[in-house]
A and B are shown apart, each in its own frame.
Chain A
Amino acid sequence: MRFVIRVDGQERVVHVARQNGVYRVDMEGRTLTADCRTFGDAGTLSLLIDGKSYLVESAPVQPDEGRYFARVMGRHYDVDVLDELQVAVRDAEQAHARAGNYTVRAPMPGMVVEVKVRPGDAVEPGASVVIMEAMKMRNELISEVGGTVASVEIANGARVDSQTPLIVIERT
Chain B
Amino acid sequence: MFTKILIANRGEIAVRIARACKEMGITPVAVYSDVDRTALHVSHAYEAVRIGGSESRDSYLNVAAVIEAARSVGAEAIHPGYGFLAENAAFAEACENAGIVFIGPPVHAIRVMGNKLEARAEMKRAGVPMVPGSDGPVRDAAAAAKVAGKIGYPVLLKAAAGGGGKGMRVVREPGEFKAALALTTGEAGAAFGDASVYVEKFLEQPKHIEIQVMADGHGTIVTYGERECSMQRRYQKVIEEAPSPIVSPEMRAALSEAARKAAAAVGYRGAGTVEFIVDAARNFYFLEMNTRLQVEHPVTEMIYGVDLVRQQIEVAAGGRIDVRQKDVVPIGHAIEMRIYAEDPSHGFVPSIGKINRLVLPQGPGVRNENGVYEGYEIPIYYDPMIGKMVVWAGTREQAIRRARRALREYRCEPVRTNVDFLLWALAEPAFIDGSYDTTYIQSHFNASHLHRRDEEIDLACVAAAIAAFNYRSSVRYSTNSDSSDAWRRTARAEATRRWRE
A138 CB to closest chain B CB, in angstroms? 7
Inter-chain contact B479/A74, CB cutoff 8 Å: no
B460→A77 contact, CB < 8 A = yes
Closest to A25 in B: B462
| A42-57 residues at the B interface, CB under 8 angstroms | 42-45, 47, 49, 54, 56-57
Task: Flag if A64 contacts B420 (CB, 8 Å).
Answer: no
**Option from B356, B407, B419, B488 in Cβ contact (under 8 Å) with A93:** B488
B253 interface contact, C-beta 8 A: no
Kindly state the separation between the CA atoms of A48 and B465 in the bound complex, as whole angstroms: 15
In the bound assembly, the distance between CA atoms of A96 and B491 in angstroms comes to 7
Q: CB-CB < 8 A to A1: which residues of B?
A: 468-469, 472
Q: Mark B176-214, 1 if CB is under 8 A from A, else 0.
A: 000000000000000000000000000000000000000
A49-B462 in contact (CB<8A): yes
Which chain A residues lie closer than 8 Å to B468 at the CB level?
1, 3, 16, 60, 63, 66, 68, 81
Interface size bucket, A side?
A: 35 or more
Q: Specify the chain A residue showing the minimal Cβ separation from B461.
A: A5
**Is B146 close to A, CB under 8 A?**
no
CB within 8 Å of B: which of A127-154? 134-142
Q: Tell me if A36 is interfacial: C-beta within 8 Å of chain B.
A: yes
What residues of A have a CB within 8 angstroms of the CB of B234 in the complex? 138
- In the bound complex, do residue A70 and residue B350 qualify as a contact, i.e. CB atoms below 8 Å apart? no
Stretch from B66-74, B167-175, B255-263, B409-417 forming part of the interface with A: B409-417
Is A79 engaged at the interface, CB distance under 8 Å to the other chain? yes
Known: A61-B414, A81-B464. A75 touches B451 (CB 8 A): yes
Q: Which residues of chain A are within 8 angstroms of B499 by Cβ–Cβ distance? A: 85
* Interface 9-mer from B275-283, B293-301, B381-389: B381-389
B383 with A72: CB separation less than 8 A: no
List chain A residues, Cβ under 8 A from B416: 76
Q: From residue 83 to 135 of chain A, which have CB atoms closer than 8 A to chain B?
A: 85-86, 88-89, 91-93, 95-97, 100, 107-110, 134-135
Determine if A69 and B350 form an interchain contact, defined as CB atoms under 8 angstroms apart.
Answer: no
A-B contact pairs, 19 of them (CB 8 A): A18-B469, A27-B462, A47-B466, A49-B462, A57-B411, A63-B477, A65-B481, A69-B413, A69-B464, A71-B413, A72-B459, A74-B407, A77-B460, A92-B491, A93-B492, A96-B490, A135-B382, A135-B384, A139-B350
**Contact surface of A with B, Cβ cutoff 8 Å:** 1, 3, 5, 7-8, 10, 12, 14, 16, 18, 23, 25, 27, 32, 34, 36, 41-45, 47, 49, 54, 56-66, 68-77, 79, 81, 85-86, 88-89, 91-93, 95-97, 100, 107-110, 134-142
- Give the interface of B toward A (CB within 8 A): 234, 342, 345-350, 352, 356-357, 380-384, 407-411, 413-414, 416-417, 419-420, 423, 450-453, 456-473, 475, 477-481, 483, 487-488, 490-492, 494-496, 498-499
